[in-house]
Amino acid sequence: MAAAALCMAACSTKQAEENVIGKPNVPVVDGRFTPEVMWSLGVMSEYAVSPDGSQVLYTLRYTDMEQNKNNAELYVMPVAGGEAQRLTTTASTEFNPAWMDNDNILFCRDTNIVAMSLKDKSESVVAACSRGFEGFKLAPDGKSLVYISTIPVKRPDHIEKLYAGLDKTTGRINEDLMYRHWDNWVDEIPHIYYVPFEGGKAQMDKAVDILGDEPYESPMRPWGGTEQYNYSPDSKTIAYTCRKKTGYDYAISTNSDIYLYDIATGETKNISEGMMGYDQNPVFSHDGKMIAWESMERDGYEADKQRLIVMDLASGTKVDLTEEFDYGVSNIVWTNDDKELLAVIMFRGTLEVFAFDRETKALRQLTEGQHDINSFQLNGNTLVASQVSMQYPATLYTYNLNENQAEGKKLSTFNDETLNQVRMGKVEPYWIKTVDGKDMLTWLIYPYDYDSTKTYPALLFCEGGPQSIVSQFWSTRWNFEVMSGAGYFVIAPNRRGVPGFGMEWEEEISGDYGGLCMQDYMAATDWAAANIKQIDKERIGACGASFGGYSIYWLAGHNHDVKGYNEGRRFKAFLAHNGMFNFEQQYLETEEMWFENWEIGGPYWERDKNAKIKKGFSNSPHLFVGEWNTPICVIHSEFDFRIVASQGMAAYNAAQLRRIPSRYLYFPDETHWVLKPQNSLLWHRNFIDWFDEWLKKN
């Protein structure tokens, strides 16, 4: 028996070691960037700079295709540059890295918060929670933690009694709206907890839910995390984001607020009352006298400009530092002297860091380049940023606070070995004229094997959102270099409706989905076909997801009688992922009603009374199926609660009934995104195969 036990223990240890996911060995063949090579890259997501500014701690995730999963480990490296040191090797994912001091760190693993000494890598569990932690922050004085966990949603008593004795039933009973979010049923909601941290341990028996018995989300689903709350510098107050609404009221409103929770008294104060849009992500000044946050002005408009609001806590006076600036902010950071506030700005096709003078509102651009800075941290005069481009995934860069329009210094090198073997397709920006004479930034990505004496097929990329910028983003789904590696030009326009080009440009899309935004797509395609001689104008396809999927369905119904193209067809093949097909169907199937009410105008049963609603629903793609004449591939996922799977099935069935060559790729276990590694590879292989069939073989 003892021998058997030892054998079982040894087998268990061996199995755990085998399940540890490391860097996969995927060869690069002939310099081509393939989906398989893309998935072999390390993904850096979270990072934290040490208190003395000398080191940066980060997570790095690798994927094992055979196991069909990935996990992240912790690494640390000098901010000045140098070798990275791996800190963990486990089959579990480590996340939420944080510093206790310059020699000790905290992080989450499974249902624990773990402390590690960097001197000897010894570990100890400092907090455990059966429901797990979604994230945490350590107080500035190190004497408490604020963490995110969840509470179950309680059924009303008159519903609960119906479940008596039915512990195996899967039925759901709802009597209100907002019963699901994008990809999750609302069975639990996040709350923020305060807990004393003494002697290297969180006193979990003294944890306090700062929302008490309030049935509200904080942070807000589905995107909110630890950025939605912060400690005051004296560790006595917690500022947090919350939309204190449920059900129908929640479904039609974006009105969230900033609350101050006094740790000593338990009292809560709303400091953004009367401000009607999204108010979120509060950050205290270093002297504790001011607080800044992101604020949208209009209720129900989730893509409104994110203003930079600064409030004097003593007087209650609020100032909008972006009042004369036509762009929104994110990732707000105070400088050490509290004289400037830094923020990420979507600016004319890239994401850059700007600095706002708190007193004069003057601004300066700190960074500039063909890149996106997704986030950054400031320590003294050094910015450590997570930076991407269309040619590389998230990489750590450093910048100096005193520089202007700098390109930055590359810090991390974990993907260099693979990327140095790849011949990435060249990326060029072009400003082209739209049908109404405006200038539109369009990215052109060249095929990886580009030869100016040859011609190539091309793909028009249609962005989702609809208010999402076509910037220098990196994605494991819509990856332009994978398309380039498959031998395609990619045409990627920043059509009407995207942020980063002023509010007038962004707002020309709402209520007019079939208007100038669609003309912009056509203009970009016609420009590329006429001006880039290496593009074969008779081998152009179009693809997109979400609003981009809608765009494909709409373009499919308007792909006829186009001058200058064979058979009058601008596009010879389409691919739509998780797109809106039938607006009446969509209005009653989606969960966030504020979006439909703002973008389409309101419920379709009121269209005869309201011209905006009538116009909005007139752009529904299903109304133009009679004009479809082009092969189309439809992709949709069962757990997409934003645009449900019946939309894709209806579009595919319509193509089949029209006897149009068509293909349907359905994922029963994916959401609005395709996140499982093997599903992603199938998605990419299908994508390339579909367009190769119609743009290369015919």
Catalytic residue (choose from 640, 662, 680, 684)? 640
Q: Which amino acid belongs to residue 475?
A: S
Q: Using H for helix, E for strand and C for coil, what is the string for 121-133?
A: CCEEEEEECCCCC
What is the crossing angle of helices 547-556 and 516-531, to 10°? 70
| Main-chain dihedrals φ then ψ at residue 583, nearest 5 degrees | -65, -35
Q: Are 283 and 293 in contact (CB under 8 A)?
A: yes
CA distances from 45 to 94, 108, 212, 471 (A): 11, 14, 32, 18
CA angle centred on 490, ends 524 and 546, rounded to 5°: 80
- In this structure, the strands spanning 573-577 and 535-545 are parallel
DSSP 449-471: T--TTS-EEEEEEE--TTT----
Catalytic residue (choose from 181, 577, 672, 684)? 672
Active-site residue, 375 included: no
Q: Are 507 and 517 in contact (CB under 8 A)?
A: no
CA distances from 696 to 30, 491, 540, 691 (A): 20, 17, 10, 7
Catalytic residue (choose from 546, 551, 620, 637)? 546
Q: How far is CA 267 from the centre of its chain?
A: 34
DSSP 104: E
Q: Which residue's structure tokens are 């000897």? A: 120
Active-site residue, 412 included: no
**In angstroms, rounded to a whole number, what is the distance separating the alpha carbons of residues 658 and 651?**
11
- Closest listed residue to residue 559, CA positions, set 436, 551, 498, 578: 551
Question: SS3 for 71?
Answer: strand
**In angstroms, rounded to a whole number, what is the distance separating the alpha carbons of residues 429 and 407?**
17
Active-site residue, 640 included: yes
| Main-chain dihedrals φ then ψ at residue 180, nearest 5 degrees | -155, 155
Q: How many CB atoms lie within 10 A of CB 170?
A: 5
**Active site positions, annotated:** 546, 640, 672
